[in-house]
Amino acid sequence: MSGTLTVRLDDRTEAELARLLADGVGPNRNAIVRDAIHQATRNHIEQRLREQSAAIMNDPTERKLGEELYEDMDNLRAW
């Protein structure tokens, strides 16, 4: 899927985009914007994983299951 996105840039964003382009962050404005969207997606996924991990770590039932699994795995070690 490809499409076109029109964005109104404020002065700050325009200046930041120009700076990124001048610094060679991307070959053109489109590439820089695409990369920014990809990075925002990665950041969002990582944040969700941190939140889910924290929820599991703070859940007494989940912690107990993890401890039991660790003990079971430890008992299976050959040495």
- What mean pLDDT is predicted for residues 69-73? 89
| Tokens coding 10 | 């404020």
The answer to whether 32 and 17 have CB atoms below 8 angstroms apart is: yes
**Which one-letter DSSP state was computed for residue 28?**
S
pLDDT at residue 78 tops 70: no
pLDDT value, residue 75: 80
| Tokens coding 14 | 């325009």
Calculate the average pLDDT of the chain: 93
Q: Which residue has the higher pLDDT, 76 or 24?
A: 24
pLDDT 10s digits, 10-46: 999 999 999 999 999 999 999 999 999 999 999 999 9
**Domain residue ranges in the chain:** 11-76
The answer to whether 20 and 8 have CB atoms below 8 angstroms apart is: no
| Tokens coding 22 | 């001048």
pLDDT at residue 79 tops 70: no
